[in-house]
Copies of this chain bind each other. A is one copy, B any other.
Amino acid sequence: MSEAAARKPRPRNAAATKALLLEAATAEFAEYGFAGARIDRIAERAGANKRLLYVYFGDKNQLFDAVVQEQTEAVLEAAPMDEGDLRAFAIARFDYMLANPDARRLAAWRAFEQTKPSDAERGAFRARIEAVEKAQRAGRIRTDIPAADLFAFVLRMTESWLSAPPALLAAGGGDPLSAKRIQQHRAALEAAVRSLVEQP
């Protein structure tokens, strides 16, 4: 019993433990991707026992799905697109990605891992494309490029700097991620999207 007394079991709180595990998993998957992520490391990050991970989430795949779903919803909510305003959408998405590096990296990983998209995610994209189409019909933005293509361009442009190849960032002078440089790029993004979407 001398040993047992030395242990310090964590206070019992299922919801809090589950949230800690999800948070730890988010960081782990963002850092290493799905294949590179380690279950033991996630449990350690969360300060929880590995077993609980299986109790709460099933297996590694389901845990990854849970992380992806939460992050996807957060990004979609953070960057809405009212009235097909691609410029506002781009800036909102850029700001969110700037504030949430894990979300940025998970988005990149997900593009790579090619998992089947959920109906909800597909629906969210469809709604955005339709909003762009509506703006086209209203004559607010150019019509010579299909709405889906226009949206795809803008989507990628929001990540152009923050997820640029390291070699590209290193090629320029100065610190590419200083607050000042980031603000400069943010202004560039706004100007670029404006030029891209306006009637030619």
Contacts and interface: CB of A to CB of B under 8 A. Distances in A.
Interface of A: 32-36, 105, 107-118, 121-126, 129, 142, 144-146, 148-153, 155-157, 159-161, 163-168, 170-172, 176, 184-185, 188-189, 191-192, 195-196, 198, 200
B160 A159 contact: no
Given A164-B152, A168-B155, A108 B110 contact: no
Total copies of the chain = 2
A113 B172 CA distance: 19
Contact of A111 (B113, B155, B163, B185): B163
A122 B157 contact: no
A4 to B, nearest CB: 38
Contacts of A167: 117-118, 121-122, 124-125
Contacts of A191: 144-145, 200
B166 A116 contact: yes
Contacts of A164: 111, 152, 155-156
Given A152-B161, A157-B153, A171 B129 contact: yes
Contact of A192 (B111, B145, B170): B145
